[in-house]
Chains A and B, each alone.
Chain A
Amino acid sequence: MSCLLAVWLAVVLSGIQAVDRSNFKTCIQSSFCKRMRDVVPGHSPYRALLETLELSNTRLTLQLINDNNKVRLLLELYRLQGNMTRLKINELKPLRPRFEVPDVLIADPPTEPLSLVSQDEGGVVLSLGADARHLVVSARPFRLDIVEGPHVLLSVNSRGLLAFEHQRPRKDTSSENDSEEVEAEEDAEDQNYEKEEDQADMWEETFKSHTDSKPNGPTAISMDFSLPGVEHVYGIPEHAENLRLKTTDGHDPYRLYNLDVFQYELYNPMALYGSVPVLLSHSTQRTMGIFWLNAAETWVDISSKAAENTDSVQAPSKVAQTDVRWISESGIIDVFIMLGPKPTDVFAQYASLTGTQSFPPLFALGYHQCRWNYKDQEDVRSVDQGFDDHDIPYDFIWLDIEHADGKRYFTWDPAHFSQPREMLQGLVDKRRKMVAIVDPHIKVDSGYRVHKEIRSKNLYVKNKDGGDYEGWCWPGTSGYPDFTNPEMRSWWASMFAYDQYEGSMENLYIWNDMNEPSVFNGPEVTMHKDALHGSWEHRDIHNLYGLYVQMATADGLIQRSGGVERPFVLARAFFAGSQRYGAVWTGDNAAEWSHLKISIPMCLSLGLVGISFCGADVGGFFKSPSSELLVRWYQTGAYQPFFRAHAHLDTPRREPWLFGPENTALIREAVRQRYALLPYWYLLFYKAHGTGQPVMRPLWVEYPEDVTTFTIDDEYLLGRDLLVHPVTDEGSKEVTVYLPGTGGVWYDAFTFQRHEGGQNLYVPVTMSSIPVFQRGGSIIPRKNRIRRSSSCMEKDPYTLYVALSPQGTAEGELYIDDGHTFNYEQKKQFVHRRFIFADSTLSSSNISPDSQFSTASWVERVLILGAHKPSSVTLKTSGGSVASLEFDFDEATSVLTVHKPGVNAGADWTLLFQW
């Protein structure tokens, strides 16, 4: 859902987008953005005071001085384990402490020793360990360069855009003499200082009818980063934008400020529901990342140019360079530079800081049926029955805001959902689940327990005058729990206990919507920046609020099961680290082909910055899809991580069987493909959880030296082994699929036709086509007995799809556990197998010998793609038994099907092929 009060109009005139951003700020309308952006590249006023340098084993500190106003800053540099550098800048003597983002890093990042290589009056050189990697600190002006051998990897403040608005007393109201303040001493000498004070909007600014009182005055920060040799940068979600970020010269920077945007527009830099301030750079040489740890409103400028190549002693040449500038409204500069060098290294580096994707219960990877709103229990029952009648599997049915009594979350509408347990039991009986929405705005109603308790515990966010902050949202006047407060989070978590959340059961999971937070009558449909979370302003923590909501909810679901069950929580707003708490979706999209298309780059961008469990509302939230669009969306959604259909209250019903038998069959087939591949999805999530590698990947992640892949965002990889090119154009008769990897091969996942890698493949499509390819050299397990829900398929056997490389080899993995508890982690109860096909032998071996789990599943069938006909196939089991197996060989497709090895999926075994 979205705030209906916000209106967003766009007019496209002769190719120029003229957008009425009446509800949302542009950079110019956000005073700090304007002030910071007015700083132009040039000589930086900042100078490093080398005499203040202190180097301990783990960190370097150094004071910086702004020669214009003599304000001193403190720079801290850390060399972190795993090839990262952290850089922090704060005021040396701040009037008040500045906000440093808590709860995002999973731990204090472990450091490694920094050693001084050389020092002179121009600066110092520090060693960053191996590969002749150095950190060069230049003093005048202040600048940092990270170099590797002769190559500059990244420079900081090379364009002189470091700016740090120090805190200051308010001139018109303050009469005290703060003689100890540095700037006060220098006051008389410096005229620029006076000029600074005169700038408008520093102490108060008004946007539309909302005035932001800024009692702490200007506190913005800005910093530039240069990336020589880089032409492609990615990340900083959430934007409705292509995968590859565009330069922002001449228009607004990309904005990161969690907002409830009504009917968002595509291909522009406006802020959306979530923010992850992580930017990735990629070239054939190296992949790196910049993590700007700041939760305030943030803008990111990107520009590119051809720079002088000063790297080498040879004749200077032009190389591409991308420059990035970060601007935030408050807090400190706290930056993690992740040096890669490979994409997988950057993912691992970022994961080591903020954690990995939570490992969802297996059923959360199934299909989710949602709508605003299933009206009553009978409606739920009949939709559930509809899936059985039409033989379409699903795992979750969802209830939106109308299910609660007057939008009082944690309650049930007495007229329409009077017997929630009965309803949930009905789903238990079908081995299915439900998700109910619990939003973080609480109806102000003295008869509502949740409100009463939060108020009596004094846990609401406060307005600037100290009273409980109130805004409008779905229930009318609402309070907003202060989720930054651990006490609030812990109380919230306790609300999910079965005896607290009346009517809830084990198969009820949670959806946190509106957690930007959405405030219908607030500035930009969100909370006033001068609202207070304890001693911090909302300004400081804004982008973090949504993460805390999801964190507290996920904790609640874990706690209600006594720490046994894995939670599933969907949230709309997110921040760096949100991956640890559940899934996100791309918010209130629309039933338009363009929205289907953009779901790919939007989820790819999130995957690059750790959030793998991403999806878009299948069918589109607003408006009503044509049956063609709906079918194509199911086909696309079936191959995206979070697979949920959703629709606005005012749209006609669109359960999969309402579009005629033909379309029902097409949708059924797409959903069935999803279920067949659940073992692969589960493995990918297990690995994402373990390593931070994204589930849904841009092609360049696996083919980092193939420049063709750098801008592709209409197709993607699932893991390494499946390439998906969904049909996202109306009336498509063909798609052109780029198959990467020269010298390799790909197999059509359904016809098993073999195609060479490194080519654009023209693929004719019909309405039933979903172009999916399996990489030659991979082994993918599927479960081909599609049942009502994923739980029903738990004990079913596997079919292994062995796609041979041109060298006749293949490799793959299988992961099995109970599907829903933490026992895999706490008790090592899981099966993790490696399958290797080489030298005419397919073997299954244990990757994790210390794990233990017994599965009922077995191996039903093995398909060898790209094979030739063997004379015999022999199965050897660990017990030493040897059996000859029956097989079929299809000459036309070169597919060898081995019948019924019948071995347990957790066992060691070998198949021997005699050719």
Chain B
Amino acid sequence: MQHNVNWLQALLVLSLSVTLGWTVEVQRPRGVPLTKRQFYDEAKPFTCLDGSRTIPFDRVNDDYCDCKDGSDEPGTAACPNGSFHCTNAGYRPTFIPSSRINDGICDCCDGTDEYNSGASCQNTCKELGRKEREALQKLAEITKEGFLLKQQLIEEAKKGQQEKQSRLSELQDSRKGHEDKVEALRTVKETAEQPEKEAKERHLKAWEEHKAALRLEKEKAKMAEVFLELDDNADGFVDVSELQTHQELDPDGDGTLTDTEAQGLLGGAHKVDSTEFMNMWSNMKEKYVSEVCPPTPSSYDSSHDEQKDSTSDKDQERDLDKDPDSVYPEDDLDEDAAGEDDEDDDDDDDHQVSLLFCIATPFIQPHHIFLSQQYICVCVYQRQYKIFMYTLSTVSSVCERERWCLLCNAALLPFSFRALEKEISFDFGPSSEFAYLYSQCYELTTNEYIYRLCPFNRVSQKPKYGGSETSLGSWGSWSGPEDNKYSVMKYEHGMGCWQGPNRSTTVKLTCGKETAVVSTSEPSRCEYLMEFTTPAVCLEPPNIDTQVHDEF
């Protein structure tokens, strides 16, 4: 009968394998791996490998499935769940599903799966083995070099991490100091400026009517500030010695403000609180000169400790008190920007901000009639590659500029702090080997587009010949499989697709000497796939030689 494969012949096949130049012959039923050879003893009845049944041995590979686990038909397609072992001498041995035996398609490189289908299969194992060895060798080289690079990266990351930590604690300290001072200023000012705020909301005419009252309030505020300025030790009292720092108050004009004179100015008391000070103020205000401008600090930190309280225009303080968003109306130091909705922010938010310079220039504000000469103060910052400025109006004297720059810088602290904190909090891999990718961007140009990957930040796509950039996603998470989490990055919530999902990008990391985007594709609508090489994923090369393992 036609179907009857000469199974007796098929039962015992000669397996030839060549390794290290010697040849062996091992007899076993077709499709059985060497490791299971002992279960197929032609002299004995065959017991299904799951133990479910025992059958005469001539029913092994007889093209009828007897065992539930398919073990009686390792060399035929009779069992739905069986598998066939390809020896593939010269290449890797493998198992294929039984359904691929004699289906007319060559699956094993040694062609042993097609013994009765009419398909003529070439033995391609040697060629495949050679190619694979070459590829493996190449890969091994890359891995080796890549792994060395990785070690360096880890070292650098360690150093960087330490630097960042210490900078963070510095920042934490200065931030604390800054916050205290701003808090103090705020308390004073809040009491002072409330009436003005309310009044300003009214019509200009009404504003005029209240002008006098406001002047008084202004005076009060001024007084409050002076108090604060005088209260050098911030104990809530202005005492004689503190007053003596202002020699201009000397009532008798001899150039020295003696203890007695000072005590006299304080109404005979050795020290006064702010309420009492209010009564004394009228005696002093004509003469009082605000404390001199401190020397321009090169950075906030270096000057912070010497910083003395001084009088200041309340407009300045008000601006300082605002939340950072409104302090920097033109820039993107957005508290919430970190990788969330506003795409343009992302690039810069993670970078520290530094103050380049401050200038002050005369400025007349026509409507603020009660303020005389004004200066416009411009603070210029740099953040990564971006220069931006914050314009501050109504500074009342050039000397205040100095102080302003100081305060501007102080106001920047939270951003530097947050950026640093964020950077430190990132999961840069088990040994921070991915830290070097932070703040970097890598591009790949295809026929139509320029793709840009900024690791831990965002992925974007821009038409090569003009057109706007499209976000393909912002940093989401590491999302490799459990055992290899750091092999895949996921960027999510990119620009929405018409009638579709928001764009997202999966970045697959492979070991390479270079750090580069090597390919991009869009396997599904609006779901992008990027291949990225980096030494950071290179595994330690095994010590033993990577040789293709031949079966015996």
Query: B-contacting residues of A (Cβ < 8 Å)?
Result: 375, 379, 391, 415, 429-431, 649-653, 784-788, 791-793, 795-797, 854, 856-858, 860-861, 899-900, 902-904
Contacts and interface: CB of A to CB of B under 8 A. Distances in A.
A858 B2 contact: yes
Closest 9 pairs between A and B when the two form their complex, measured CB to CB: A653-B524, A792-B103, A858-B3, A900-B64, A787-B99, A650-B499, A787-B103, A650-B500, A785-B77
Contacts of A430: 105
A788 B99 CA distance: 8
Given A650-B497, A653-B523, A904 B3 contact: yes
Nearest to B2: A856
Interface in B521-536: 522-525, 527
A786 B103 CA distance: 10
Given A785-B80, A788-B100, A797-B3, A652 B525 contact: yes
Contact of A652 (B62, B102, B524): B524
Contact of A415 (B97, B99, B447, B501): B447
B78 interface: yes
B135 to A, nearest CB: 19
Nearest to A432: B105
B1 interface: yes
Contacts of A797: 3
B22 interface: no
Contacts of A429: 105
B498 interface: yes
Contacts of B97: 391
A788 B103 contact: yes
24 contacts: A379-B523, A650-B497, A652-B524, A652-B527, A653-B523, A653-B525, A785-B77, A785-B80, A786-B80, A787-B77, A787-B99, A787-B100, A788-B99, A792-B103, A792-B105, A793-B103, A795-B117, A854-B2, A856-B3, A857-B3, A860-B78, A861-B64, A900-B62, A904-B1
Given A788-B99, A902-B1, A796 B77 contact: yes
B4 interface: yes
Nearest to B62: A900
Contacts of B104: 431, 791-792
Contacts of B100: 787-788
B529 to A, nearest CB: 11
Contacts of B447: 415
A649 B525 contact: yes
Contacts of A431: 103-105
B473 to A, nearest CB: 15
A792 B103 CA distance: 5
A619 to B, nearest CB: 14
Majority secondary structure of chain B interface residues (helix, strand, loop or mixed): loop
Chain A CB within 10 Å, residue with most, of B100, B103, B447, B525:
B103
Given A431-B105, A795-B3, 15 more contacts: A430-B105, A431-B103, A650-B498, A650-B525, A651-B525, A652-B527, A787-B77, A788-B103, A792-B105, A797-B3, A856-B3, A861-B64, A899-B64, A900-B62, A902-B4
B3 A902 contact: yes
Interface in B508-552: 522-525, 527
A238 to B, nearest CB: 26
Interface residues of B, number: 28
Majority secondary structure of chain A interface residues (helix, strand, loop or mixed): loop
A792 B119 CA distance: 11
A415 B448 CA distance: 12
Contacts of A653: 523-525, 527
Contacts of A857: 3
Contacts of A795: 3, 102, 117
B1 A858 contact: yes
A854 B3 CA distance: 12
Chain A CB within 10 Å, residue with most, of B77, B100, B501:
B77
Contacts of B501: 652
Given A856-B2, A902-B3, A903-B1, A788 B527 contact: no
Interface in B366-424: none
A272 to B, nearest CB: 23
Contact of A860 (B4, B64, B99, B525): B64
A785 B99 contact: yes
Contacts of B499: 650
Nearest to B116: A795
Nearest to A858: B3
Nearest to B106: A429
Contacts of B525: 649-653
Given A651-B525, A652-B525, A902-B4, A788 B64 contact: no
B302 to A, nearest CB: 56
Contacts of A649: 525
A651 B105 CA distance: 34
Nearest to A388: B100
A207 to B, nearest CB: 28
B272 to A, nearest CB: 74
Interface in B490-505: 497-501
A773 B269 CA distance: 107
A451 B77 CA distance: 51
Interface in B457-487: none
Interface string B93-123: 0000101101111000000000001000000
A650 B500 CA distance: 6
A795 B119 CA distance: 13
A652 to B, nearest CB: 5
A191 B105 CA distance: 81
A899 B53 CA distance: 15
Contacts of A792: 99, 103-105
Given A857-B3, A902-B1, A785 B78 contact: yes
Contacts of B3: 795, 797, 856-858, 902, 904
A787 B82 CA distance: 12
B501 to A, nearest CB: 7
B1 A784 contact: no
Chain A CB within 10 Å, residue with most, of B3, B4, B99, B500:
B3
Contacts of B117: 795
A884 to B, nearest CB: 15
A651 B62 CA distance: 48
A695 B2 CA distance: 32
Interface in B315-371: none
Contacts of B103: 431, 787-788, 792-793
A279 to B, nearest CB: 38
A297 to B, nearest CB: 32
Contacts of B78: 785, 860
Contacts of A785: 77-78, 80, 99
Contacts of B62: 900
A415 B3 CA distance: 47
A157 to B, nearest CB: 51
A904 B77 contact: no
A784 B2 contact: no
A649 B447 CA distance: 22
B73 to A, nearest CB: 11
